[in-house]
Amino acid sequence: MVSDVKGGRMTQQLLGQPLLDQLRADGYKVNVSHNRIPATERDIIEEMREDRNNWSHDAKVTFVRARSAPKYQLREAGEEILPFGGVTIVRVTKGDKEYVAISTCSPLDNFDKRQGLIRATGRLLGVMKKEKRVAH
């Protein structure tokens, strides 16, 4: 499988979509979900963003699965999402084995699907390497 390593770390070009494509070619079932913070949580998030040095990691925020639709359509459907914070979840299965990796974006930062996918697949690769499911 993937073996291009620089200084002990995978290059970003090999993570994200290229890794998922390779896993699919190797017979794995791959599921990716990007979850975002709905506009109904705006008050909690704005409070965190106002006091960046003193926000609590314990604040309870709900996430909704992000749909690939223009913002105006989401707003009209009452499903508006905020541009910051979110979670990317990568789930890979083959037979009875399942691997799950999560990348969380701080509510203080703008959500970036690509970066979330790169980080989650990097974590996924680390877990799979520990179990020797992929080549080093």
Per-residue model confidence as pLDDT tens digits over 64-80: 666 555 555 556 666 67
pLDDT reported for residue 4: 44
- Residue boundaries of the structural domains of the chain: 32-130
**Residue 4 tokens, joined:** 């291009």
**Residue 16 tokens, joined:** 């994200």
pTM, two decimals, is: 0.71
Between 82 and 60, the more confident residue is 82
Q: Which residue has the tokens 């037979």?
A: 95
Q: Which residues contact 27 (CB under 8 A, 6 or more apart)?
A: 94
Q: Which of 62-71, 91-100, 113-122 shows the lowest mean pLDDT across its residues?
A: 62-71
Instruction: DSSP for 36-89, please give it.
Output: EEEGGGHHHHHHHHHTTTS--TT-----EEPPSS-HHHHHHTT--EEEEEEEEE
